[in-house]
Chain A
Amino acid sequence: MSTTSGHGQGSDPSKAVLWAESDHEHDIISTRLLGFWLYMLSDSLIFAALFTAYEVLTYNTSIAGGPTPAEVASPIRAYIETIVLLTSVLAFGLSMIALKRDRPRMVMAWMAVSALIGIGFLGMEWTELAGLAARGSTPQRSGYLSIFFTLIAVHGIHIAIGLLWMGVMLAQVARSGLTALVVYRMANLKIFWLYQALIWTFVFTFVYLRGSV
C-alpha cells in the first residue's frame, strides 16, 4: 500500500514543503478570546437549563397556593433595573473606546463609572429579593419562588463576579498600563459584561414582562 492515492489530498512529494518556515506565531489574544467565547457558550447552557426549570415551575402545581408570578414580578421596577444595567454597559463600552485610543486614564474612569452603576443594580436586585422575603415570599415557600430566587441570584452572582473582575482590572491598568495581557482581559471582560446584560434582557422579558400578565 505504498501508493499516494490513498492518503487523500496528498501533494507532489518532490516539491513538498516538509517543515514550517518558523514557529508560526499563534495569535494569543485571538486564541484566548475564542476560549472565553467557548466558556460563555457553556455559561449560556447554565441559563438555558435555569430558564427551562423556570418554565416547568410556573405551572399551578408548582405555585402551590403561594404567590403567583403576577404578584412577585414587578415589571416597572425591572424596567428601571434594565435601564440602569444598560447604562453600565454603555459606560463600559466607552471604556473600551478609550482602550482603542490608548488612553489608560479614560479607560479607568469609564470602567469605574460602569462598576458604580453595576453596584447600584446589584443593590436593586438585593432589595427586591429581600423585600419579597420580608413579605413571606421566601424561596422555601413554593417551587415557583425557588426558581424565581435562584434565577435572579445566579444572574446576581454573575454581576458580582463582573464587578470583582472590574476591580482587579482597575488595579492592573493602573499598575501596568495597557499591555497585551491587560488588553485581552479587558476584551474578555467586555464580552462577560455584555453577556450578563443580554441574559438580563431574557430575564426581563421571560420572568418580569411575561410573569406580570
Chain B
Amino acid sequence: MVDLQGPWTPLLGRLTLQEIPFDSPIVFGAFAFAATLAVIIIGLLTYYRGWGILWRDWLTSVDHKRIGIMYLIVGGVLLFRGFIDAVMMRTQQVMAAGPASPGYLGAEHGYLPPYHYDQVYGSHGTIMLIFAATPILAGFMNYLLPLQIGARDMAFPYLNSVALWMTAVGAGLVMLSLFVGDFSQAGWVGLTPLTEMSYSPDVGVDYWAWALEIGSIGTTLGAVNIIATIIKMRAPGMTWFRLPLFTWTALTTNVIGLTAFPVLGVALGLLLLDRYIGTHFFTTGFGGNFMLYTDLFWIWGHPEVYFIILPAWGMMSEIIPTFSEKPLFGYTVMVAATLSIGCISWTVWLHHFFTMGAGPIVNVFYSISTMLVSIPTGVKVFNWAFTMFRGRLTFTTPMLWAVSAIFMQLIGGLTGMMLAIPAINYMTHNTVFVIAHFHCVAMVTIFASVAGITFWFPKATGFKLDEASGQLVFWLFMAGTFTVFTAMFGLGFDGMPRRLAYIPYASWRPLMIVEEFGILLYCGSIAAFIYQIVVSVRNRAHNLVDVDAWGTTRSLEWMTHSPVPAYNFAVIPHVNARDEWAWRRDNGLADMLPEHYEDIEVPLNTPVPMFLGIATAGFGFAMVWRIWWLAAVSLAAVFIIIIIRSFGGTTGTVIPADAVRRTEQASRRKRRQNADNVLGDGVMAFAVKPRA
C-alpha cells in the first residue's frame, strides 16, 4: 500500500546486507569500540563466574533496588552515547565554518556529510531526553521511593521489571540503528512532513518512532507503579505532609508521565500509520494536517520537560538540607510549588512554536502561562537559598553539584522567561540561543543527578565515592558547561540557526572554537569520573559507611543498612515526624532497635519480564524492517507469555524471622568492626556510633 522506494522480500523485509554500513569509518569505529567493550565484559563475567549472579541477582530480579540500579546503568550508557554525539556535532561545526573550511571522509565541509550529521543531532536529542535522563530519573525513583516511604517494595514489583525491559528495548533499538540501517534525520521532535514516507523513505524514522513508542510504554507502566506505591504503600505515620520532597516530586512527575506519554503514543502511532498503510494524518496532500502532529507532540513534549526536571528538584531538596544541617525551608510551599508546576506544565506547549502562525491572542495566552511557571520555580529557588541561610554548610561533592544546579536553574529559567515573550521569540526562534537555554535547564537535571549519584551511592554500595576526584569531576564539568554555553548564547544573539551541518559565516568560528574547548573540558570531566569510580572501588575499605553515610541525613532511607538488604527494613518503622531519621537522631532514638522480628514476604525472581522484553524487541525490529511474519510471531509471543503467566502459581516467598535476625546482627557486627577500624581517620560518617 505504501511505495517503499526500494527492495522488499517476504523473509527479510527491507533488510539487506547493504544496510550494514561497512563503508563508513566512523560507524565502523563505533562498532569496533562497542564490540571490544562487549568482549571485555563477557570475558570478565566468565572469568569471575558472574553469569549466575547476573541471571539470579539482576536480569530476573524484581527487587526495586536492583531494578533502580539497572535503570541507572541503562541511562548511564545511553548518556555516554549521547555525549559522544554531542562531541561529534561540536567538532563538525567547528571544522565546517566558512566556505574555505576543508572536508574529510567524503564530506564537503568538516568530516560528516549532512545526511550523517542530521542523524547525529536527531539521536543526540532522542537519547538524552528519552533514553538517558528519563531512565536515570526512573532509576532514582525506583531505588529511593519505597525506602523513603518505609515500604518493602513497589506496589507492583513484576510490572516494575516489565517497565525496565520496555525502556531497555527502546534504548536497544536506538543503539541498533547505529549498526543496522540509519537513524532518523528529522530531529528528535520528528519534524512533519519530513518524517513522512515520501521525504524519509529509509528506516531511520521507523527506528526513532518505534523506539519511542516502546520506551514510552515502559515509562507509562512505571508511572502507574510509582503513583500506586506512593498512595498505597506508605508506612504507618507517613502522612501526606511528612513525605520527603523527592517523593512529592516523583508523584507529580509520574502524574505528568501517566497523562502525557499516551499522547506521544498517539502522535507517533498516527505518524506510523501514515508510513505503513498510507493514511493522511500529517501528509501534505489529501487532507493531512502537519500542525496537528506538532501540537500533539508538544502536548507531550512540554510536560516531558517538567517530567525530567521535577525529580531533579526533589533531589536538590533532599541534598541541600542535609548539608545545611537544617530542615528544608518552607516545606508546604515547596509541595504546593511542585504541584502547581505539574498543573501548569499542561498549559504551555504552544510556546515551542510561537512563530507558526497561531495569531497574537493565542500566543499571548501561552506567553502568560509560560511566565506563570516562573512563580513556583522562583519560590523553589528562594526556599533553597533560605534553607542554606544560617545553616552549617558543608561543601561536599553532592552539595557542590546541588548548589550549582540552582545557578543553572537561574540561567536556564531567566533565558526561558525571555523566550516566553513572543516578540523576542520571533527573533531567537530556531537559533542556538534556544539550544543554550534548554541545555542550561537540562543541566539542572544532570547536575542534580550527579549530586544524587554521589549522595546515595554509599546507601547502595556501603562505601562513599572518592571525594578529591569527585571535586575534580565537578570543577571540570562546571568549567565545561560555562565555556560551551556562554559561547553558545553569544552565537544565538548573533542569529546562528540550530541544526547546521555547514556554517556559512567564518566569523562565527572563534566562538565555536571556544565551545570546542569547553567540550574538551567535558571530556576531561568524563575521564575524571571514570578515574573516580576506579579509585573509589579500589579504596573502598577506607570509605565504608554506617547507616547514615553523611551523618546529617534526614529521611527514612538512611535508617536501614548500607547496602540495603533485600527486605529494606527489618521491621517497618512507625513515622513520627517529617524528616523522621533526623528527628530520631536529634532525640537520641537513632540506636533504638526493634524488639522482635517477623517473617517477611518478598516476591520471587522471574524471567518473564525478560522474555517479554525479547519478544517486544523482536516486534520492534520486525516492524522497522517490515518483516511481517516476525512481527506477527513476536506480538503473538507477547500475548501468549502474558496469558501463560496469569495461570502461574505462587509469585512470592518468605524470609523467616530467624534469617532476618541473623542478617541484622551480622551487618551490625560488621559495621562495628568497620567503625573501630576507620574512626581514627576522623571520617564524618561515623559521628553517629551504633550501639548494637
- Residues on A facing B (Cβ under 8 Å): 1-4, 6-11, 13, 16-24, 26-27, 30-32, 34-35, 38-39, 41-43, 45-46, 48-50, 52-53, 56-57, 59, 61-64, 66, 139-144, 146-147, 149-150, 164, 168, 171-172, 175, 185
State whether A2 touches B571 (Cβ < 8 A): no
* Cα distance, A17 to B580, chains bound together (Å): 12
B583 at the A interface (CB under 8 A): yes
A141: chain B residues within 8 A (beta carbon): 286
Cα(A34)–Cα(B226), bound, Å: 12
- Max chain B Cβ within 10 angstroms of own Cβ: one of A19, A43, A147, A150: A19
Closest to B299 in A: A49
**For the complex, what is the distance from the CA of A200 to the CA of B628, rounded to whole Å?**
31
User: Could you say which residues of chain B place their CB within 8 Å of the CB of A66?
Assistant: 287
Which of A35, A57, A66 has the most C-beta atoms of chain B within 10 angstroms of its own C-beta?
A: A35
The DSSP consensus for interface residues of chain A is helix
> In the complex, are the beta carbons of A35 and B156 less than 8 A apart?
yes
A23 vs chain B, min Cβ distance (A): 6
CA–CA, A5 and B333, complex, Å: 17
**A8 close to B327 (CB less than 8 A):** yes
Does the CB pair B573–A30 fall under 8 Å?
no
Q: Of B232, B237, B287, which contacts A143 at CB under 8 A?
A: B287
Q: How far is the CA of A139 from the CA of B610 in the complex (A)?
A: 37
New A-B pairs, 17, CB < 8 Å, besides A19-B572, A45-B260, A57-B281: A1-B586, A4-B586, A11-B577, A18-B574, A23-B572, A27-B232, A35-B155, A38-B258, A39-B224, A46-B263, A49-B262, A50-B266, A141-B286, A143-B279, A146-B270, A146-B273, A172-B647
Tell me, yes or no, whether B498 is within 8 Å of chain A by CB.
no
Complex: A22 Cα to B289 Cα, angstroms: 59
Can you name the residue of chain B whose Cβ is closest to the Cβ of A17?
B574
Provide 16 A-B residue pairs closer than 8 Å at the C-beta atoms, listed in order of the A residue. Answer: A8-B331, A9-B577, A18-B573, A19-B574, A19-B595, A23-B598, A31-B155, A31-B232, A34-B232, A35-B225, A38-B224, A63-B287, A140-B1, A140-B278, A164-B639, A168-B646
- Total A-B contacts with CB atoms under 8 angstroms apart: 195
How far is it, in angstroms, between the C-alpha of A175 and the C-alpha of B646 when the chains are bound? Answer: 12
Q: Does the CB pair B270–A150 fall under 8 Å?
A: yes
* A7 engages B600 (CB within 8 Å): no
Q: How far is the CB of A97 from chain B (nearest CB, A)?
A: 24
The docked-state distance in angstroms from the alpha carbon of A140 to that of B646 is 39
Q: How many angstroms between the C-alpha atoms of A9 and B263 in the bound complex?
A: 40
- Find A1's partner among B259, B270, B283, B392 (CB 8 Å cutoff): B392
B 208-245 contacts with A by CB, 8 A: 220, 223-225, 227-228, 231-233, 235-237, 239, 241-242
Looking at A3, A142, A149, the one whose CB has the most chain B CB atoms below 10 A away is: A142
Q: Which 10 A-B pairs have the closest CB atoms?
A: A143-B287, A64-B287, A146-B279, A62-B287, A13-B587, A10-B577, A49-B266, A45-B262, A20-B572, A8-B578
Check if A20 sits within 8 Å of B574, measured CB to CB. Answer: yes
A42-B155 contact, Cβ under 8 Å, with A16-B576, A140-B280, A141-B286 = no
Q: Does B373 contact A (CB under 8 A)?
A: no
Expressed in whole angstroms, the Cα–Cα distance for A148 and B176 within the complex equals 35
B325 close to A (CB within 8 Å): yes
Query: Is B228 touching A42 in the complex (CB atoms < 8 A)?
Result: no
- Give the chain B neighbours of A49 by CB distance below 8 A: 262-263, 266-267, 296, 299
Give the residues in chain A near B595, CB-CB below 8 Å.
19
Chain B 512-531 interface mask (CB, 8 Å, partner A; 1/0): 00000000000000000000
B242→A9 contact, CB < 8 A: yes
B479 on the interface (CB 8 Å rule)? no
Contact pick for B289, options A7, A13, A56, A139, CB 8 Å: A56
Give which listed residue, A2, A27, A146, contacts B586 with CB less than 8 A. Answer: A2
Check if A10 sits within 8 Å of B583, measured CB to CB.
yes
Instruction: Give Cα A46–Cα B643 distance, bound, in whole angstroms.
Output: 24
- Contact partner of B576 among A6, A11, A42, A61, CB < 8 A? A11
A46: chain B residues within 8 A (beta carbon): 262-263, 265-266
A6 — which chain B residues lie within 8 A by C-beta?
Answer: 326-327
Contact, CB under 8 Å: A19 / B241:
no
Residue of A nearest to B570 (CB): A19
**B579 in the interface (beta carbon within 8 A):** yes
Is B589 in contact with A30, judged by CB distance below 8 angstroms? no
Q: How distant is the Cα of A213 from the Cα of B263 in the complex, in angstroms?
A: 29
Residues 319-342 of B contacting A (Cβ, < 8 Å): 325-327, 331
Q: Does B292 contact A (CB under 8 A)?
A: yes
Checking A38, A48, A143 against B286 with a beta-carbon cut-off of 8 angstroms, the contacting residue is: A143
- Which residue of the partner chain A has the closest CB to B260? A45
A7's partner among B265, B281, B283, B577 (CB-CB below 8 A) is B577
Interface set, chain B 187-215, CB cutoff 8 A to A: none
B582 interface hit (Cβ, 8 Å): yes
A22 x B228 contact (CB < 8 A): no
| B17 close to chain A: CB less than 8 A | no
CB distance from B34 to the nearest CB of A (A): 35
Contacts of B286 in A (CB 8 A): 64, 140-143
Across-interface contacts of A10 in B (CB, < 8 A): 576-578, 583
- Find chain A residues with CB under 8 A from B155 CB: 26, 31, 35
C-alpha spacing A118/B92, complex, angstroms: 59
Q: How long is the Cα–Cα vector from A4 to B287 in the complex, in angstroms?
A: 66
Residues of B within 8 A of A142 (CB): 280, 286-287
Cβ-defined contact, B281 with A35, below 8 A = no
Assess the B258–A41 pair: CB atoms within 8 A: yes
The verdict on B504 contacting chain A, using a C-beta distance below 8 Å, is no
Question: Shortest Cβ distance from B573 into chain A, in angstroms?
Answer: 6
Please determine whether A35 and B579 come into contact, CB atoms closer than 8 angstroms.
Answer: no
